[in-house]
Amino acid sequence: MSKVSNRVKIIMYGLGYMGKEIAKLLLKKKGVEIVGAIDISKDIVGKDLGEVLGVKKDLGVTVTDDSKSLLSKVESDIVAHATTSYLTQTFSQISECVMEGFNVISTCEELSYPFKKHPELANKLDRLAKENGVTVLGTGINPGFLMDTLPIVLTGLCQDVKKVKVTRMMYSGNRRIPFQKKIGTGLSPNEFKQKIEKKEITGHVGLNESIAHIAAALGWELEKIVEEPPEPIIAEKELKTSYTTVKRGQVAGLKSVGRGLIQGREVITLEFISHASVEEPYDEVIIEGTPSIHEKIIGGVHGDLGTVAMVVNMIPKVINARPGLLTMRDMPLPSAVLEDMRIYLEWETP
């Protein structure tokens, strides 16, 4: 019994695709216990989490839509939050957890570095977290790693930095269907244009945050951050994907570009490119400086696998961190949780 009560206790908040994947990975880890599950979907409220995740056995955790009641009665070390990309939508959910005294780790893209786009909400959340002695972190693979943490870390090698450019070149044809839809796969160029105008296609959420994050780490005061509307990538030949067949001339995916400027000079460029005709995916960081750095992850990194990993791997570091709304640049080096999660809570160097 004492052993059980020492496990790292986690409440799941949001059981869409990402939330379920995070929960499934947590079930594979030692020293971890899921002690609560919150979701608003009528399809799963009232069901056992084991059934919702499609694992064989019941987990003794019933999915509830009454977050207030759950959070007020369950003891837990952290809430793993995965609902939407936008801080205006997640703020009340996250602040509710914080006010009940829980650390929060979230996949909310805008939470990864919210101080530029949402300074009021960010400062309010920071203040609430400090008042309640808990830590809040937004992370994932992107934002959270590929376009912020990794280029920041690589500048550590540089005596001087003139410019940082990051490119994520992603093959989309084997990704889950909602993702392929989100990037316009199979639309006509005209339909794509209309969906951009109606903001039904937004491109990658996180460019603004990653640019502000890099600038903050480097001490750069950006004059402005420009996020260009996503451009369609048109198929030059017929492309078969796991979702549909894209005909020649239809949209194969999109390109989103963000730029950070100082006195008119572009010092940060982030390119997110995802479509069904990418033959060699990669993630690349180019730093112009002394020395210059040309870094590449050959084959790229699978977005969903990586985000789930980042959330689970950062859990012990969030539990150990000082109170406040933190960002990846405030955290110690990310690293994989491979053994019993409790050993990573022994913060001190041996």
Could you tell me the smallest distance in angstroms from the CB atom of residue 155 to its own copies? 4
Output DSSP code: residue 232: E
Report how far residue 268's alpha carbon sits from residue 282's, in angstroms, rounded to the nearest whole number. Answer: 19
Examine residue 339 and tell whether it contacts its own copies (CB under 8 A). yes
Name which of 162 and 248 has its Cβ closer to its own copies. Answer: 162
Contact 255/231 with Cβ under 8 angstroms? yes
Examine residue 25 and tell whether it contacts its own copies (CB under 8 A). yes
**Which range, of 5-13, 97-105, 247-255, 334-342, touches its own copies by CB under 8 A?**
334-342
Examine residue 327 and tell whether it contacts its own copies (CB under 8 A). yes
Cα 245 vs. chain centroid, distance in angstroms? Answer: 29
Could you tell me the smallest distance in angstroms from the CB atom of residue 118 to its own copies? 13
**Which range, of 65-73, 77-85, 141-149, 165-173, touches its own copies by CB under 8 A?**
141-149
Report how far residue 208's alpha carbon sits from residue 225's, in angstroms, rounded to the nearest whole number. Answer: 7
- Strands 103-106 vs 78-81: parallel, antiparallel or unpaired: parallel
Phi, psi (deg, nearest 5) at residue 273:
-125, 125
Contact 258/270 with Cβ under 8 angstroms? yes
Say whether 222 sits in a helix, a strand or coil.
coil
Residues 159-188 that bind its own copies (CB under 8 A): 159-161
Examine residue 115 and tell whether it contacts its own copies (CB under 8 A). yes
Could you tell me the smallest distance in angstroms from the CB atom of residue 341 to its own copies? 9
Examine residue 87 and tell whether it contacts its own copies (CB under 8 A). no
Q: Which of 27, 55, 99, 157 binds its own copies (CB under 8 A)?
A: 157
Report how far residue 261's alpha carbon sits from residue 225's, in angstroms, rounded to the nearest whole number. Answer: 6
User: For 30, how many CA atoms within 13 A lie in the half-sphere containing its CB?
Assistant: 7
Total binding residues toward its own copies, as defined by CB under 8 A = 65
Q: Under 8 Å CB-to-CB from 349, ≥6 apart: which residues?
A: none
Examine residue 296 and tell whether it contacts its own copies (CB under 8 A). yes
Render the burial of 225-257: b for 16+ CB within 10 Å, e for the rest: bebeebebbbbeeebebebbebeeebbbbbbbb
Among the listed residues 313, 300, 302, the one whose alpha carbon sits nearest the alpha carbon of residue 25: 313
Examine residue 50 and tell whether it contacts its own copies (CB under 8 A). no
User: For 103, how many CA atoms within 13 A lie in the half-sphere containing its CB?
Assistant: 21
Examine residue 325 and tell whether it contacts its own copies (CB under 8 A). yes
**Which range, of 8-16, 78-86, 189-197, 342-350, touches its own copies by CB under 8 A?**
342-350
Phi, psi (deg, nearest 5) at residue 182:
-60, -25
Examine residue 39 and tell whether it contacts its own copies (CB under 8 A). no
Examine residue 143 and tell whether it contacts its own copies (CB under 8 A). no
Examine residue 152 and tell whether it contacts its own copies (CB under 8 A). yes
Q: Which of 55, 99, 153, 234 binds its own copies (CB under 8 A)?
A: 153
Examine residue 294 and tell whether it contacts its own copies (CB under 8 A). yes
Say whether 165 sits in a helix, a strand or coil.
strand
Q: Which of 5, 219, 263, 264 binds its own copies (CB under 8 A)?
A: 219
Name which of 232 and 324 has its Cβ closer to its own copies. Answer: 324
Examine residue 135 and tell whether it contacts its own copies (CB under 8 A). no
Chain residues in the site for its own copies (CB under 8 A): 25, 28, 115, 126, 141, 145, 149-150, 152-153, 155-161, 216-220, 289-291, 293-299, 301-302, 305-306, 308-310, 312-314, 324-340, 343-344, 347-350
